[in-house]
Amino acid sequence: MKFATLASASALVLSTVLAVSGAEARDQIRIVGSSTVYPFTTAVAEQLGKTGIKTPVVESTGTGGGMKLFCAGVGVDHPDASNASRRIKKGEFEDCQKNGVTDIVELKIGFDGIVIANAKSGPAFKVTKEQLFKALAREVPGADGKLVANPNKSWKDVDASLPAEKIEVLGPPPTSGTRDAFLELVMESGAEKLPGMADLKKADAKAFEKVWKSIREDGAYIDAGENDNLIVQKLEANPAAVGIFGYSFLEENTSKIKGASVNGGEPTYENIATGKYAVSRPLFVYVKKQHVGVVPGVDKFVEEYVSDKAIGEDGYLSAKGLVPLPAEERAKVAEAAKSLKTLGAEAF
Amino acid sequence: MTDIVSTGTRPHDVTSPEARARVRKRYRAEARFRFYGIAAIGFAAIFLVCLIGDVVTRAIPAFTTSYVSLEVQVDPAQVDPKGDKSPASLISGNYDAPVRNALATLLPGANDRVSRRQLANLVSSNGTIDFRDQILRDPDLVGKTVRTDVLLGDDADLFIKGHMTDVTETSGQGQITPSGTEGTITLTGAPALSAAAFTSADPSTFIRINGGWVKIIGAANGQLTGDVFMPLANTNAGDWKLVTLETPEGSRRVTDREIVWLQSLKEQGLIERSFNWHFFTSGDSREAELAGILGALTGSLFTMLITLVICLPAGVAAAIYLEEFAPKNKWTDLIEVNINNLAAVPSIIFGLLGLAVFLNFFGLPRSTPLVGGLVLALLVLPTIIIASRAALGAVPPSIREGALGVGASHQQAIFHHVLPLAMPGILTGTIIGMAHALGETAPLLLIGMVAFIVDVPTSPMDAATALPVQIFLWSDLPEAAFKAKTAAAIIVLLMFLFVMNGLAIFLRRRFERRW
């Protein structure tokens, strides 16, 4: 009977497929982690693929998700490397140790600036971190220093020097590494400078943290999702709005949007590299040393990543928007990578 | 025969003015309703046209690609390091250097390191692959001069397609005398160009004279100062043209110098645009000009295959049992309710289930069409069962009874008579379910099919992405050229859907039977 044949044939196919899949040796590097580092790691992966090694598979899971997968264990079922838009956390490191991932090589690959930008046709913004805090925090210190719900409706309410536009900020959602970095780099240090807040930090660090970590939810700040291209499109359509995203998107869209200067620093390549632009963060790649020699090409991957032609001043990653490390730091990273120096508990 | 006696006491009132008014009102109501219907369809059609129009116009740049046609001197020292013309030696050769040299001879003036790098930027970082393959096919070309097409870089390609800046060209009045052929020169005799500031925030202005390009950097007293971007043939007084690049240099990705070179190549007739076959024949790439859809297409195909192989037999068997053999009791009612509910469960839940069961429990590899297919099979199975049951139920009972009446067993009646008649309905339901699965992204995110994968998969066990996931990935990349790629991938996905739905219609027409 035709039908029965079909059914048994498909059952057979399925069972063989399930049987062979289990523990098979892997000859392709697997990398997980941050969507911010993803564009850079994919470029390195592609270069590596041209040298005769199978092109690594790079998956964009977000920094936290990537770390979880990375630290889950050693062996071909687990990824060989993880991208991170922030440094590995102590908890994640301990998790790794517990699961047997004891030899982790840390590669600091460069910087990414976080840009506050608006459409070319919109007004020019020159802001400080305090002003950004006052515009975006859920609660700000009132006239008497007590916390009140954020009353600022337009940028002019925040500071007379700013344009009289409604506050409308499109930014990353809470799950994003960019949002974490923005909170730490802008909101935290912005809050510290305000009257009374430094005292609050001393008196009650938890309460202070809650203040700078809370973004207003009355419509002035809009979660725009993880897709930065969409934010750029929305800014173009609405010149009054301001967006928050990674520097590479500003660089690629200079014909449509312009970056605001923060604390007097313009978001340019040179300023981020020299530290004159204050809102920038280092990017990392973590590699399992235990996989070197097990999965072919892991050492080659590290070598390619820290090579001058990748993360150097004129490297192909700088063309993709990565801001390179200063030369001496880069030399140190390359040196550590060469010897596959592992991360110890004393680093935290 | 009995006579029919009218018992009605009230005759139908169809002639009075009130009755006419009522009729007119009914007609008006009907006309209004028809208008609403047409308006609704028109409204939907406008949205559809806008959507498709937008996608297609955005996608157009991705379907063509620009090449520069070069006469390349194939230097044996560079491309054949071992000197034996063996494939191993040829594959390790440096093909970029000869191409750069060929460009440099065409475009004089690139002397310093920065401008040499800009020159190299014009062509794609992997644009010499075709050239390499050409030499590999015919090793005798080593040492000769070969005409080859080299792919342009993505930004240069966008400029050629007119997406970077508008270029306006006007003929100048009178003649101008340049003071030199290279470096910074002055141009005398020009009618006063307004002495505007020539900064990077203004449109770039060029004077084309004696075969060279001069960028204006200042104007005073009827004299222009400018930097020579392409050397002039001589210092004679000559006719001139004014070329303006409307978008300021600071606001675009291609520098003035690169544009001058591209324009010059264009005028020499060396830039060709052709259909972008590469887009359909290669896998993903980080370079926008090289990225292709084949990897995602194959991934989708494998995923669909796995889904079909699991879904169709299981779904049809379940439907036959439930519709024809199962007793009607509380248990079958419970199962039925659950199947109907499962059909409405959000797809992300199936993704989580797949992650927990197939990846974590069975330990199947991440990012593979195998797992993707299994997850999507779970997703569409309820749809197929429901559609198949409806199709089986629509076969008239007389067919079954006829078969049973001539002595067939219950099973024979179903498999020989009912199932073939229900097949068109079952297939239509299956294909529509598969089309749904094809467009599904969320469950695939969780099982790792959102990955950068360059190699085109060759089996359901290889790492792969699917079409909707590829669209998702490309839409998030910063390069402008990826926007066109995203739209083009959407069109490929729509085409895939059209083909599948077309197949459903064809099968229905071919096998459908009416009673």
How many Å apart are CA B56 and CA A319, to the nearest integer?
A: 29
CB B146 within 8 A of CB B134: yes
Structure tokens at A289: 């040393």
Residues 430-459 of B with CB under 8 A from A: 448, 450-455
Closest chain A residue by Cα to residue B420: A3
Domain shared by B155 and B186, yes or no: no
DSSP A38-100: HHHHHHHHHHHHTTTSPPPEEE---HHHHHHHHTT-SSTTS-SEEEESSPPPHHHHHHHHHTT
Task: Determine whether the interchain pair A10/B117 forms a contact, defined as Cβ–Cβ distance below 8 Å.
Answer: no
Q: How close A186 gets to chain B, by Cα (Å)?
A: 24
Average pLDDT over residues B500-511: 86
For residue B196, name the pLDDT band (cuts at 50, 70, 90). low
Task: Please report whether residue B468 resides in a domain.
Answer: yes
Q: How, if at all, do strands B223-230 and B184-188 pair? A: antiparallel
Tell which wins on pLDDT, B182 or B409: B409
Closest chain A residue by Cα to residue B476: A227
Nearest to B363 among A10, A22, A254 (CB): A22
Task: Determine whether the interchain pair B252/A10 forms a contact, defined as Cβ–Cβ distance below 8 Å.
Answer: no
Q: φ, ψ for residue B228 (rounded to 5)?
A: -80, 120
pLDDT in tens, A95-109: 999 999 999 999 999
How many Å apart are CA B74 and CA B99, to the nearest integer?
A: 9
Last-in-domain residue among B159, B175, B206: B159
Task: Determine whether the interchain pair B478/A229 forms a contact, defined as Cβ–Cβ distance below 8 Å.
Answer: yes
How high is the pLDDT of residue B495?
93
Q: Share the mean pLDDT of chain A.
A: 85
- In order of start, what are the domains of chain A with their CATH numbers? 30-111+282-347 (3.40.190.10), 113-280 (3.40.190.10)
Query: How many other CB atoms sit within 10 Å of the CB of residue A191?
Result: 25
Structure tokens at B345: 């469960």
For residue B111, count CB atoms less than 10 angstroms from its CB and return exposed for 0-12, middle for 13-18, buried for 19 or more.
Answer: exposed
Task: Determine whether the interchain pair B477/A39 forms a contact, defined as Cβ–Cβ distance below 8 Å.
Answer: yes
Task: Determine whether the interchain pair B125/A18 forms a contact, defined as Cβ–Cβ distance below 8 Å.
Answer: no
For residue B5, name the pLDDT band (cuts at 50, 70, 90). low
Task: Please report whether residue B324 resides in a domain.
Answer: yes
Percent of chain B with pLDDT strictly greater than 90: 42
CB A288 within 8 A of CB A322: no
Q: φ, ψ for residue A244 (rounded to 5)?
A: -120, 120
| DSSP single-letter state for residue B140 | G
Q: How close A117 gets to chain B, by Cα (Å)?
A: 14
Structure tokens at B451: 């990955």
Average pLDDT over residues B81-104: 81
Domain shared by B143 and B169, yes or no: no
Percent of chain A with pLDDT strictly greater than 70: 92
Average pLDDT over residues A204-213: 85
Domain shared by B319 and B434, yes or no: yes
Task: Determine whether the interchain pair B313/A10 forms a contact, defined as Cβ–Cβ distance below 8 Å.
Answer: yes
Question: Which of A1, A252, A256 should we substitute to test contact with B (largest number of B Cβ atoms within 10 Å)?
Answer: A252
Evaluate if residue A70 carries a pLDDT over 50: yes
Q: φ, ψ for residue A215 (rounded to 5)?
A: -95, 145
How many Å apart are CA A321 and CA A111, to the nearest integer?
A: 9
Task: Please report whether residue B283 resides in a domain.
Answer: no
CB A120 within 8 A of CB A180: no
Closest chain B residue by Cα to residue A2: B415
CB B384 within 8 A of CB B315: yes
How high is the pLDDT of residue B119?
83
| DSSP single-letter state for residue A264 | T
Domain shared by B171 and B311, yes or no: no
Domain shared by B145 and B223, yes or no: no
Q: How, if at all, do strands A57-59 and B451-452 pair? A: antiparallel
Q: What are the chain A neighbours of B312 within 8 Å (beta carbons)?
A: 6, 10
How high is the pLDDT of residue A211?
85
Q: What are the chain B neighbours of A23 within 8 Å (beta carbons)?
A: 363
Task: Give the CA count within 13 Å in the CB-facing half-sphere of B312.
Answer: 22
Task: Please report whether residue B244 resides in a domain.
Answer: yes
Domain shared by B92 and B75, yes or no: yes
| DSSP single-letter state for residue A268 | -
Nearest to B476 among A11, A55, A228 (CB): A228
- Integer angstrom CA distances of residue A75 from A295, B47, B141, B272: 9, 51, 48, 50
How high is the pLDDT of residue B369?
94
Structure tokens at A12: 């057979």
Please enumerate in sequence order all residues whose Cβ is within 8 A of that of A25, keeping only pairs 6 or more positions apart, or say none.
A76
The pTM of the full predicted model, rounded to 2 decimals, is: 0.83
How high is the pLDDT of residue A49?
86
Radius of gyration for the alpha carbons in chain A, expressed in angstroms and rounded = 23
Closest chain B residue by Cα to residue A77: B365
Q: How, if at all, do strands A242-246 and A169-171 pair? A: parallel
In chain B, how long is the greatest CA-to-CA distance? 122
pLDDT in tens, B451-473: 999 989 999 999 999 999 999 99
ipTM score for this prediction? 0.79
How many structural domains comprise chain B? 3
How high is the pLDDT of residue B399?
92
Task: Return the beta strands (E) in B249-342 as ranges.
Answer: 271-275
Nearest to A254 among B251, B287, B453 (CB): B251
Domain shared by B89 and B115, yes or no: yes
Evaluate if residue A82 carries a pLDDT over 90: yes
Q: Which of B428, B438, B430 is nearest to B492 (CA)?
A: B438
How many Å apart are CA B287 and CA A100, to the nearest integer?
A: 37
Structure tokens at B233: 């043939």
DSSP B34-101: HHHHHHHHHHHHHHHHHHHHHHHHHHHHHHEEEEEEEEEE--HHHH-TTSS--HHHHHTS--HHHHHH
**Containing domain of residue B359, as a range?**
289-511
Q: How close A71 gets to chain B, by Cα (Å)?
A: 15
B224-227 long-range CB contacts below 8 Å, 24 or more apart? B224/B176, B224/B186, B224/B187, B224/B190, B224/B193, B225/B184, B225/B185, B225/B186, B225/B187, B226/B184, B226/B185, B226/B186, B226/B187, B227/B183, B227/B184
Task: Please report whether residue B34 resides in a domain.
Answer: no
Task: Please report whether residue B272 resides in a domain.
Answer: no
How high is the pLDDT of residue A15?
56
Domain shared by B148 and B173, yes or no: no
Q: Share the mean pLDDT of chain B.
A: 87
CB B503 within 8 A of CB B78: no
Evaluate if residue B299 carries a pLDDT over 90: yes
- The SS3 call for residue B187 is strand
DSSP A159-173: -TTS-S-B--EEE--
Last-in-domain residue among B252, B280, B309: B252
For residue B428, count CB atoms less than 10 angstroms from its CB and return exposed for 0-12, middle for 13-18, buried for 19 or more.
Answer: buried
Please enumerate in sequence order all residues whose Cβ is within 8 A of that of B507, keeping only pairs 6 or more positions apart, or say none.
B424, B427, B428, B431
Closest chain B residue by Cα to residue A7: B313
Domain shared by B339 and B469, yes or no: yes
Task: Determine whether the interchain pair A252/B479 forms a contact, defined as Cβ–Cβ distance below 8 Å.
Answer: yes
How high is the pLDDT of residue A22?
44
Domain shared by B362 and B504, yes or no: yes
Domain harbouring B448, CATH code: 1.10.3720.10
Domain shared by B227 and B327, yes or no: no
How many Å apart are CA B121 and CA B154, to the nearest integer?
A: 10
Task: Please report whether residue B223 resides in a domain.
Answer: yes
Q: How close A269 gets to chain B, by Cα (Å)?
A: 13
pLDDT in tens, A8-64: 555 555 555 555 544 456 889 999 998 889 989 999 999 888 877 889 999 988 888
**Locus of tokens 């003015």:** B17
* Partners of B275 in the β-ladder: B64
CB B219 within 8 A of CB B225: yes
pLDDT in tens, B132-161: 888 888 888 888 888 888 888 888 898 888
Tell which wins on pLDDT, A172 or A305: A305
- The SS3 call for residue B312 is helix
How high is the pLDDT of residue B382?
94
Task: Determine whether the interchain pair A57/B453 forms a contact, defined as Cβ–Cβ distance below 8 Å.
Answer: yes
Evaluate if residue A171 carries a pLDDT over 70: yes
In chain A, how long is the greatest CA-to-CA distance? 86
Tell which wins on pLDDT, B495 or B210: B495
**Locus of tokens 């972008």:** B276
Average pLDDT over residues B229-251: 83
The verdict on B419 touching A (C-beta cutoff 8 Å) is yes
How many Å apart are CA B515 and CA B513, to the nearest integer?
A: 7
Tell which wins on pLDDT, B384 or A192: B384
Q: Which of B453, B481, B485 is nearest to B124 (CA)?
A: B481
How many Å apart are CA B400 and CA B408, to the nearest integer?
A: 9
How many Å apart are CA A93 and CA A82, to the nearest integer?
A: 13
CB B166 within 8 A of CB B184: no
**Locus of tokens 């030499």:** B135
Task: Please report whether residue B84 resides in a domain.
Answer: yes
Lowest mean pLDDT among A91-100, A234-243, B174-183: B174-183
CB B367 within 8 A of CB B455: no
How many Å apart are CA B462 and CA B303, to the nearest integer?
A: 11
Average pLDDT over residues B303-307: 95
Domain shared by B180 and B144, yes or no: no
Please enumerate in sequence order all residues whose Cβ is within 8 A of that of A323, keeping only pairs 6 or more positions apart, or say none.
A110, A111, A112, A113, A247, A269, A272, A273, A280
